[in-house]
Structure 1
């Protein structure tokens, strides 16, 4: 908003500018939009792989440029994950990925670490 500043004779002496920072409101609106999309698009079935795909589709591009979901094979089969120090090394199974770039070029970075393993611990997944 711009308003003229005039003296008592009506001569323009300057201008007054007022601005409003709506960054917080904009970010809150984006968060609510993402939350709404998540609540209506994630978990439409009990299929773990489909739910993983739905998660990646909601997250990209609103929250991230690239998202991948890796699961233990046992989880993908519908079983409980083996946890604890006796679980040993496991290889994660990529069940979903999504990118803002066509063809998911970020996936190529994963191929550069063919010997990478994941250990399942009591506190969660560690890479």
Structure 2
């Protein structure tokens, strides 16, 4: 039941604890449903965590995994929003894996729609300016 798992991810995000972030991370890396992954990545991006590097790597791994299986424009857009959330709260983001995934999304050869690619280009520019 993907709707139930999506709602669980939303509620975990509202809890905002390290334990909730760990559960969301597990959902993000194991759930096959893009709408559940979208809710999980958005929720994780709104939680202040101690291990920021692990969070960033999980976010990058999730979009990498999802892209390898089946490109989903909605998940890619949510990934970009999540990176922006983290960057705005923490004054930037410098993980090379995250930048690599954003650059892939911006590349027209990857097959994402124009809106998603333009969002990725804008985010890359914004992150470089921080």
Which of the five TM-score ranges fits, normalised by the shorter chain? under 0.3
* TM-score normalised by the chain length of structure 1: 0.27
Greater relative CO, 1 or 2 (CA 8 Å, sep 6+): 2
Q: Whose Rg is larger? A: 1
* TM-score normalised by the chain length of structure 2: 0.27
Q: Greater helix percent: which structure?
A: 2
Q: Greater strand percent: which structure?
A: 1
